[in-house]
Each structure stands twice: as C-alpha cells, then as structure tokens.
Amino acid sequence: MNTATTTLTLNEGYFARRNWLDWLFAALVLAGGLFALQRYGAHMDVYEKGILLGSIPGAIWLGWFWRPLRLLMLAVAGCSLLAIGLYQNNGAGDLARAETVFGLKYFLSSQSAILWMSMLFFMSTAFYWIGMFSRGQGPAMMRIGSRIAWVAVALALIGTMVRWYESYQIGPDIGHIPVSNLYEVFVMFCWMTAVFYLYYEEQYATRALGGFVMLVVSAAVGFLLWYTVVREAHEIQPLVPALNSWWMKLHVPANFIGYGTFALSAMVAFAYLIKQQAQETRWYKLAPLWLLGVVLCFEPIVFRQGATAEAGSSYWMVYFGVSALIVAGILLGRRRIAEGLPALQVLDDVMYKSIAVGFAFFTIATVLGALWAAEAWGGYWSWDPKETWALIVWLNYAAWLHMRLMKGLRGTMSAWWALVGLAVTTFAFLGVNMFLSGLHSYGTL
C-alpha cells in the first residue's frame, strides 16, 4: 500500500496537484488580464499586447510557485483599481482629485503610496535589528519587521501601478510604464530586493538576515527621498524618444532583478563575514565592518557635492550621522548578531543562489538591451560607458560563478568577491550617471 501510494504521488502531474484555490487564482488572473486588454488595449501596440498576454501565465505560475505572491497580487490589483476609481470624476480621470479625495491624498496616489513605502521600509529595518538584539522578544520583533516589509512591497507596487495610470491622464503621448528614470527604478529596486529576500526568508526559515538586506533597501530609500526633494523627481515627465519603446518594458525589469539580487548577495556576504569574525578582537582583522563604514559614509559625501540646496546638504549630513551610528552598533554588537545568524553553509548557499538568479536575468537584460540599441541607434554595441560597465558587471559575476562551479570557490573569498561585486554594480548603476556621460544619460543627478 505504501509503495503504491508513493508511486502515485511521484507520478502525479503538475496540474493534477493544483487545488481549487490554485484554479480560482488562475481564473482571477486571466479575468484581470483580459479586462486590462479590453480596457487599455487602445493604448497598446501589438508588442505590448503580446507582453500583457504573456504575463498572464507568468503571473499564474508565480502564484502557484510561491503562494504569498497571490495575496500580494490581489491586494495590489484591488488597491490600484480603487485608486483609479477615486480619480474618476464624471466618468473621466481627474488628477486634481489627488489633493481633495482623502484616500488619494493620504494613501493611494502614487506619491503617497511611495512615501508610505519609504517609511515602512525604514520601520522594517528597525524591527529586524531590534529583533536581532532582543533576547526574549527577538523572533516576534523580526516577524513584525517581515510583515511590514510585505506591506511596503505592496505599497511600492500600488504606487507604481497608479503612477502608470496618472501618466496617461496627463496626456496619452506622455503615458508610459514607470521604469524610465532614477526615481522610478529606485522604487523598483527597493521592492524587488525586498521580495527576493522575503522568498529566501521563507525558504530557509530564518529572519536573521532581514536587518542586513533591509540596510541596502533603506539606503536606496534614503537616496530616493533626497532625489525627490532636491530634484523634484516624483514629477512625471515625457519619455525621451529613445526610451519610447516596448523594449523598455522587458529590459529594465530584467536588469533590476539582477541589481536587486546582486545587492542581496552582497549583504548576505557581509553577514557571512560578520559571523566568521565575530570573536575577533584585533581591529585590523575587522575589515568587513570598516568597509561597510566607508561605503555608508562615503555615499552622503558624494551626493552632498551634488546637492543644489542647503536642505539637500543638511539631509546628507544627517544620513552620515545615522550611518556612523549603524556601523558603531554593528561593531559593538557583532557577537550577539553572529549568534542569531544561520550557519555559514546556509549563508553561502543564499549568496550563491542570489548571484545565480541575478546573473541569469542580467544576461537576459544585456541581450535585450543590445536588441533595443540596434533598433534605437542602429547598432548592437557602441562601447557607451553604461554598456561598458554593464559588461564589467557581467564578467565579474560570470567569473564568480565559474570559480564556484569549476573550482569550488567557497567561504571568505567568495564573500569578499560578492561585496566587491556590489561596489562594481553600484558604479554601473549610479556612478556612470554621476561621473560619465553617454547615450544612457537619462537619469542624471
């Protein structure tokens, strides 16, 4: 009987294992996709319609693969439709209602939702670290941090969807998917990094890495808030001609899956080095902590040079102070932090899987970018600074994976390499925009 049952289970088909909730979710996604096609198809070309139809089975598979995404998708869809409904005035969208309708002004307009996202990511980071240092209530605090991170992700996606709608209400020729400038892609970076972390958090049944990963998310939020205030980056702008392409809808998200998972792997690598050197007392052996301090404290100095107002300068000085306190806290509490971290083997595995996923999507993004360049500029590759640094990022992680798979690279060297990879990736993402110019200079600081 047991043998027969085991054989039946092993031979059971993928679709046969779906329950009624799976099929209900699939029906809702299909209905939502067809509604979007019917309602907004007039604004799409044939390629965009193909992307929409292709996203339907993709969303269904994601919901079946990882069930928490179902509630996220349904919540984002419901709140986005509610926001669109609140914008309606006599059957037409009226953006002025964002200042008069309570639900839009304080919660569901794109800017309100993204500001809530920013605050909640800071709160999530704080709860994760409180849980790390709390002996009695640690798991409860980190659970709260995890729940808050989920809400922040939802609000980031709601803000993105509503911003997409708002852009079309400004003008049909202005409307575009919100992945076209630094403000919009920083929002994407925040929620993508958080979602991938939350997946690994569930798969490895540990929340101890949340404080580390949310540090880089909070740093991105810090930049986003400065960029919003000093550059008024939240204002929706028309696309430059080269970006007015359906390729953008594929290339940019794939790129930022790579950026997000590379950042995640670097923070896991930092946790690995903290655990490994927790008992070290010689100051020169605590290099990872000093490296984090340099990175965190260097960022405000760089951006302070670009601040155009005294408010921007003061903001980065506060950021500098907070960064110094964070570094000091990690330095003083490294033994307590190390006690709560998973085994080194688990940290190494998360680091590897994050880089593997990021490398796959970054490769896809690079290929898509070459095809887009051929259409926009007449050539697949032009050694533009952004293209050159993208190649450097790709070669860096290709070498990391090669050394791991072919030479068995593990431990300290792989962790240090992942941290260096974050520095290289950050320069490709931001440094090129700050210090270099070229065909990709759309998100200038």
Length of the chain, please?
445
Element (H, E) at 40: helix 20-40
The pLDDT of residue 8 is 45
Residue with tokens 């997946």: 199
Do 234 and 228 contact (CB within 8 A), yes or no? Answer: yes
Residue with tokens 């270099």: 436
The per-residue DSSP string of 256-318 comes to: HHHHHHHHHHHHHHHHHHHHHTTT---GGG-HHHHHHHHHHHHHHHHHHHH--SHHHHHHHHH
**pLDDT, tens digit, for every residue of 141-155?**
999 999 999 999 999
Asked whether the whole model's pTM tops 0.85, one would answer yes
Q: Which amino acid is at 91?
A: G
The pLDDT of residue 1 is 47
The pLDDT of residue 32 is 94
Do 409 and 266 contact (CB within 8 A), yes or no? Answer: no
**pLDDT, tens digit, for every residue of 226-258?**
888 877 888 998 888 777 888 888 999 999 999
In the chain, which residues have pLDDT < 50?
A: 1, 4-10, 306-311
The pLDDT of residue 190 is 97
What angle is formed at CA 143 by the lines to CA 127 and CA 222, rounded to 5 degrees?
A: 35
The pLDDT of residue 299 is 55
Q: Which amino acid is at 252?
A: V
Residues with Cβ < 8 Å from 233, sequence gap 6 or more? Answer: 181, 182, 183, 227
Instruction: Kindly provide the b/e burial profile for residues 218-233, where b requires at least 16 CB atoms within 10 angstroms of the residue's own CB.
Output: bbbbbbbbbbbebbeb
- Going by C-alpha positions, the residue among 419, 418, 420, 277 that lies closest to residue 344 is 277
The pLDDT of residue 67 is 94
